[in-house]
Amino acid sequence: MRKIITILLLACLAAGCYKEIRIPTEDKDPVLVMNAQMDNLEETHVVNLSRSLLSKVEPLPGAQVKVYVNGSLVAEAVEIAEEYAWNRTAYAFKATFQPGDEVRIEASKDAFNASSTVIVPPAVAIASVDTSSVRMTYLDDTSDYLQLKARFQDRPGDSWYGVDQRITDLWEYLDEEGSIIPGYTAVSNTFGSIETGFDPVISEGSGKTSGSDFAALLSVENTYNCFSDSPIAGEECTLRVMTYPWNVYLNDFRYGLLVPEAMQDNPDAWSILAKLPARVHRECYFRLRSLDFAQYHYLKALNNLETFGTEMSFLVEPTTIPCNVEGGLGFVGIETVTEFCYARFEREYEPMDTIYY
């Protein structure tokens, strides 16, 4: 009987109807593409514009970009040069955003006219942060990590969040007597890693830690560390994450030498700084990001695209990328970020000629 059923199924598939899908191969009318990811803590923001055709995406220089907050014009973005511009043109502007603000960005050039309107999501306060040192093996490497527990109250209604950490380094170059050389200081900002492989929600205050994508927060599949509040709706909970705040040392900022602003035009900056010892003051910030649903949905879609988008498998469904740009394509998002400094320390380095690779 099982063989008969199999044969019948094959017959049905063979006789099934199909529809031929024709994929256009010629470029149609170009479309303006606007993309921006912003937050409330930054003062300078960047909007990227492109001209999209079926076969390629091109930069869009010379556009006019206006920014409105609550109906009032607050800035006109200025075109800036990028080291790695790829197929876009960057426009920068300065503005401050507050929770509840209505932010509208309008871009125009010739026949192109596009805009996007975003409501800045509510702020979420971090009630407390507790840290402890933990010995952990991750990816066959055993190291001392910081276990960070951040407590916060879920905001009313359906809510969406993300987490990450920011690291700020103040670099000071020293003379032979160990004194700071005036003008030889520089600041670098990086986003440090948050380790994965466990449920980040512990039982205190939340009551349940599984279900939905919340249990998958910070897993390998959750590149942007975003999650919904469905398992903890309306409750106070504690997030637990593992961080490694000592990384990013002796990296490009040292080997590539982060050049102070006062030395940007000095062709001998490398040789001068390489002969000097350096002291680095590090501050580590845990960041709780408040998102609206559109931003959450967009980040999840990007994650799916980056994870499965290149797989040649009939089991993988196409990924739909949300768009909130009127008259064009793209996505403009604004996050409301709450930061908490959980670690401060310093390290010193000898001159580069004492470092052996």
List, for residues 213-271, the tens digit of each pLDDT value. Answer: 444 444 446 778 888 887 777 788 888 777 877 665 555 556 666 788 888 888 888 88
Q: What share of the chain is helix, strand, coil (3-state, %, to 5)?
A: 15, 45, 40
pLDDT band, very low/low/confident/very high, at 8 (cuts 50, 70, 90): very low
Is a pLDDT exceeding 90 seen at residue 18? no
**pLDDT score at 336:** 97
CB 262 within 8 A of CB 183: yes
Task: Determine the pLDDT at residue 36.
Answer: 97
- Nearest of 179, 343, 161, 157 to residue 276 by alpha carbon: 179
pLDDT(149) > 60: yes
Ramachandran region of residue 293, left (φ > 0), alpha (ψ -120 to 50) or beta?
Answer: alpha
Percent of the chain residues topping a pLDDT of 70: 76
Exposure string of 88-117, with b = 16+ CB inside 10 Å and e = fewer, is bbbbebebebeeebebbbbbebeebebbbe
Least trusted range by pLDDT, from 10-24, 44-58, 238-252: 10-24
Count Cβ neighbours within 10 Å for each residue of 133-158 and write b for 16 or more, e otherwise: eeebeeeeeeeebbebbbbbebbeee
DSSP character string of 55-124? S-EEE-TT-EEEEEETTEEEEE-EEE--TT-TT-EEEEEE----TT-EEEEEEEETTEEEEEEEEPPPP-
Biggest alpha carbon–alpha carbon distance for the chain: 91
- pLDDT tops 70 at residue 13: no
Which range among 38-52, 155-169, 278-292, 313-327 has the greatest average pLDDT? 38-52
The per-residue pLDDT of the chain, averaged, comes to 80
Domains parsed from the chain with CATH numbers? 31-119 (2.60.40.10), 126-291+336-354 (no CATH)
Q: What is the pLDDT of residue 233?
A: 75
Q: State pTM to two decimals.
A: 0.79
Q: Measured between alpha carbons, how far is 113 from 139 in angstroms, rounded to an integer? A: 49
Using DSSP, state whether 144 is helix, strand or coil: strand
pLDDT grade for 118, boundaries at 50, 70 and 90? very high
Average pLDDT estimate for 132-139: 77
Give the CA dihedral 284, 289, 295, 301, nearest 10 degrees: 60
List, as own/partner pairs, every contact residues 306-309 make where C-beta atoms lie below 8 angstroms and the sequence separation is at least 24, other chains included: 306/223, 307/221, 307/223
Q: Is the pLDDT of residue 35 over 60?
A: yes
Question: CA-CA distance, 197 to 316, in Å (whole number)?
Answer: 24
How many Å separate Cα 129 from the centre of its chain? Answer: 22
Among 217, 243, 248, smallest CA distance to 230 is for 217
Euclidean distance between CA atoms 68 and 117, whole angstroms: 9
Residue 99: pLDDT band (50, 70, 90) is very high
Q: How far apart are CA 346 and CA 223, in angstroms?
A: 30
In what helix (H) or strand (E) does residue 166 lie, and over which residues does it extend? strand 160-174
Instruction: Supply the pLDDT for residue 61.
Output: 96
Q: How confident is the model at residue 148 (pLDDT cuts 50, 70, 90)?
A: confident
Write down the pLDDT at residue 273.
86
- Measured CA to CA, the distance from residue 10 to residue 314 in angstroms comes to 18
Contact 82, 90 (CB under 8 A): yes
**Rounded to the nearest 5°, which phi and psi values hold at 352?**
-60, -25
Mean pLDDT within 298-302: 88
Can you read off the two tokens belonging to residue 233? 């709706």
